[in-house]
Amino acid sequence: MNREVFAAVADALDRGEPAALVTIVATTGSTPQRVGAKMLVFGDGRIVGTIGGGCYENDAFGKAREAILSRAPQLVHYELDDDFAQETGLICGGQMDVYIEPIEPSPELYIVGAGHVGFHLARIAEEVGFRVHVADDREKFANPERFPTAAEIVVEDIPAWIARAAIPAHAYVVIVTRGHTNDLEALRALAPRELRYLGLIGSRAKVARIYDALTADRMPAETLKRVHAPIGLDIGAVTPQEIAVSILAELIAVKHGKTQPGSLRWTPPALRAEVNS
């Protein structure tokens, strides 16, 4: 049975689909399954394997789906007492500890814009484990010579590509195009999507102008508040290399749950007034 679970874990990682692995790590007394029994739970409710069935498996199933969202592991203790036996028909009377571990694929990073910042970000992000995708409408910049390790290089009109691209919800997306108009159109297409991270490069003044334009187009304020803008942690970065480091630092912080939109970014005055009202 565990062979089936391990195969499912490998398939999930290959597909880039998050899941949670549930493993019995300790038992005392009589239990339906032995130490080492495993169950893989997916966000949509699919299960591969079993840790013995019954109400405790159902409880572990629910906690596993929560772990997929929180990305936090947990150790759960179950007392297989008379109430459990009455509900399941199993005479156990033992105790069991279950470890629930989120399984995450290599994080997918979509760099929208293959200029200087995008070039340096792709290089260092790949080194820390991100699977990099690059999109630009200029073949001179988006090509295998500049991005030899990229999983995907797209040379296409950016809004058209975004409209058809199947960017997963667990992906990180950074908008670092060559100009205001391209940034605006990219953010217009990406902001409504559910993404792990969405960041926009630019000065505070530029970000404000883009936000004002999207607000005028009736994009909800709640949608814009999810965006990290200006992008990156404030480390005083000036050069493209330093800016790339600041962006990667923010990506890593989000990956490990150390920052969320609004905690280390500037909010345009119109949105700040709304939040404080």
Domain residue limits, the chain? 2-103, 108-276
Q: How many helices (H) does the chain have, and how many strands (E)?
A: 10, 10
The mean of the pLDDT values for the chain is: 87
Averaged over 159-178, what is the pLDDT?
Answer: 92
pLDDT score of 105: 81
pLDDT at 56: 83
* Whole-number Å distance between alpha carbons of 51 and 9: 16
Instruction: Say if residues 183 and 190 touch (Cβ distance below 8 Å).
Output: no
Q: Is the pLDDT of residue 175 over 80?
A: yes
Q: Is the CA virtual torsion 226, 253, 195, 114 positive or negative?
A: positive
Q: Which residue is listed with tokens 């890593």?
A: 252
Residue 177 has pLDDT above 70, yes or no: yes
Per-residue pLDDT of 104-123, as tens digits, reads 888 899 999 999 999 999 99
Rounded percentage of the chain residues whose pLDDT exceeds 90: 61
% residues pLDDT > 70 (the chain) = 88
pTM: 0.74
| Integer angstrom CA distances of residue 63 from 50, 75, 135, 231, 257 | 15, 10, 37, 33, 19
Amino acid at 41: V
Q: Is the pLDDT of residue 157 over 50?
A: yes
Confidence of residue 79 (pLDDT cuts 50, 70, 90): confident
Average confidence (pLDDT) over 149-161: 94
Query: Topology of 108-276 in CATH?
Result: Rossmann fold (3.40.50)
Amino acid identity, position 157: D
How far apart are alpha carbons 182 and 161 in whole angstroms?
13
